[in-house]
Amino acid sequence: MSRTVSIINTGVANIASIQSSFAKLGYETQFTASAQDVLDAKAVILPGVGAFEAGMSALNSLGFSDALRQRIHDNKPTIAVCLGMQLLCESSEESPGTKGLGILKSQIRKFSPGIRTPHFGWNMVTGTPYFGSGYAYFANSFRLAEDPDDGWEVATCEHGERFIAAVRKGNVVAAQFHPEISGDFGFSILEKWLEGVTW
């Protein structure tokens, strides 16, 4: 049986780098075509760059939002990257009035005044034994500031102030940075996540 990672293509993501990273790890990729695909896939990645409102609009118009909530509730292997992580939250100061998926009971906020944005380039991530510590590649103007509740493991970063770099609960992982272009550190996280998949 082929080991295939399903990509949710919202139209606001760098899909080529995602596909390339999984190919290097020995995995095939495919796109989800329906909500049922999102629910049934062995492993799902929600990538994204750009604006919170555009990302949620894409998920809602594709009919994927409820399927993603159910999938994560069921602890099925899922990883969210960059904007994908932010979409797991309840809302974002970037897009007032737009509701997120609400999986993380937190709000995405602006960096404090005086801090250079966007936060762009390599920065140190400090985490739990699952994440370890290492340099990762970031490209974000907004961030998750408060630790989510409900037992999520948290990795952090400093850019003028502390913010959340990644979270994990069971088979669900979310990273503000881009593991697919974060060298050995990023690939180690992808590999750990893939170890939790029953192929």
Q: How far is it, in rounded angstroms, from Cα 181 to Cα 159? A: 19
Catalytic-labelled residue, pool 119, 161, 180, 191: 180
Catalytic-labelled residue, pool 28, 82, 94, 195: 82
Catalytic-labelled residue, pool 119, 178, 191, 195: 178
Q: Judge residue 97's burial from the number of C-beta atoms within 10 Å of its C-beta, 0-12 exposed, 13-18 middle, 19 or more buried.
A: exposed
SS3 194: helix
Would you call 159 a catalytic residue per the annotation? no
Would you call 73 a catalytic residue per the annotation? no
Would you call 180 a catalytic residue per the annotation? yes
> Cis (ω within 30 of 0) for the bond into 118?
yes
Element (H, E) at 65: helix 65-73
| Cβ proximity of 135 and 185 under 8 Å | yes
Hey, which residues are catalytic here? 82, 178, 180
